């Protein structure tokens, strides 16, 4: 719905807007300039190193919202891209997301974004037309939110105890004959390395390639291991069915 005219219009997913829009006091770039601004956005933010990508994540987030490329859903797209960018450079595995933190402080989030659209306060407030001081405030808020989410998930998952919880589970499953022997060795190696080439599995199991394939297949069938293909490295998965065992406290207990 158009916020100004209140007229309803069809929204086509992924289609760049074809009309002018105003969000609060911000008048977004003209429809004809959207693609040009997106190309510049990509040129500036897609070729940065790890540190620069982290530091400029807030600025990139605001710039995309400022461009307002779509008729609707721009905030959601910007939050998704921020999550994906940090996921890529930090290799978080999706364990935490800045989007959750922004949603928890939505009032501060919207206020900071609106302030970033203010004209610069004086000659010391940056060199562009918008306030660099407000953008710096948003950056501090954005990065503080990231840290808060990391600490929140760390407190829930207690990663220092994760290896012990997984070992207890796999020993129990092995005793009950639900997993082959040496399954724990495979999981332990992946916990230590992050991922495991399939060719290394036989050396870890120590009983030949056939038994190694049997162990890996059993773990994959239990959704404990994942791989992008039959030749890609193995990585640890966190199936929801094992959340209460591996990550107690991650989900609230259901009340009876």
What is the pLDDT at residue 181? 92
pLDDT tens readout for residues 25-37: 889 999 999 999 9
Confidence (pLDDT) at 213: 92
Burial of 56 per CB tally in 10 Å (0-12, 13-18, 19+):
middle
pLDDT in tens, 197-241: 999 999 998 888 899 999 999 999 999 999 988 889 999 888 888
Query: Residue 191: is its pLDDT beyond 90?
Result: no
pLDDT at 253: 57
Higher pLDDT, 103 or 207: 103
Containing 203, the helix (H) or strand (E) segment is helix 201-205
Alpha-carbon span 115 to 113, nearest angstrom: 5
What is the set of domains in the chain, with CATH numbers? 22-157 (1.10.3290.10), 159-246 (1.10.10.10)
Q: Helices in 46-161 by DSSP H: which ranges?
A: 50-55, 57-67, 74-90, 98-104, 106-116, 132-157
| pTM for this predicted structure | 0.74
pLDDT above 90 covers a percentage of the chain that reads 63
Q: What is the Cα–Cα distance from 219 to 191, expressed in whole angstroms?
A: 14
Phi (first) and psi of residue 95, to 5 degrees: -70, -35
**CA–CA dist 195, 233 (Å, integer):** 6
Q: Model confidence over 134-159: pLDDT tens digits?
A: 999 999 999 999 999 999 988 877 87
pLDDT band at 7 (very low <50, low <70, confident <90, very high): low
Comparing C-alpha atoms, which of 110, 28, 129, 102 is closest to residue 69? Answer: 28
Residue 23: the pLDDT is 87
Q: Has residue 85 got a pLDDT over 60?
A: yes
At 2 the pLDDT is 52
Mean per-residue pLDDT of the chain: 89
């Amino acid at each position: 719905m158009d916020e100004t005219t209140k007229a309803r219009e069809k929204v086509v997913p992924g289609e760049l807007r074809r009309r002018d829009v105003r969000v609060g006091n911000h008048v977004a770039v003209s429809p004809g300039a959207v693609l040009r601004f997106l190309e510049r956005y990509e040129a500036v933010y897609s070729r940065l190193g790890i540190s620069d990508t982290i530091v400029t994540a807030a600025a990139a987030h605001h710039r995309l919202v400022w461009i307002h490329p779509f008729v609707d859903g721009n905030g959601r797209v910007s939050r998704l891209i921020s999550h994906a960018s940090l996921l890529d450079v930090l290799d978080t595995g999706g364990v935490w997301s800045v989007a959750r933190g922004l949603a928890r402080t939505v009032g501060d989030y919207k206020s900071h974004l609106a302030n970033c659209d203010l004209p610069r306060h004086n000659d010391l407030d940056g060199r562009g037309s918008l306030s660099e001081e407000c953008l710096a405030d948003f950056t501090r808020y954005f990065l503080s939110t990231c840290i808060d989410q990391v600490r929140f998930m760390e407190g829930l998952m207690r990663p220092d105890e994760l290896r012990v919880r997984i070992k207890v589970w796999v020993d129990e499953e092995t005793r009950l004959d639900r997993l082959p022997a040496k399954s724990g060795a495979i999981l332990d190696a992946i916990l230590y390395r992050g991922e495991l080439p399939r060719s290394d599995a036989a050396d870890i199991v120590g009983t030949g390639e056939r038994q190694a394939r049997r162990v890996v297949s059993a773990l994959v069938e239990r959704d404990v291991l994942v791989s992008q293909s039959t030749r890609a490295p193995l990585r640890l998965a966190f199936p929801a069915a094992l959340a209460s065992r591996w990550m107690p406290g991650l989900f609230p207990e259901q009340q009876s």
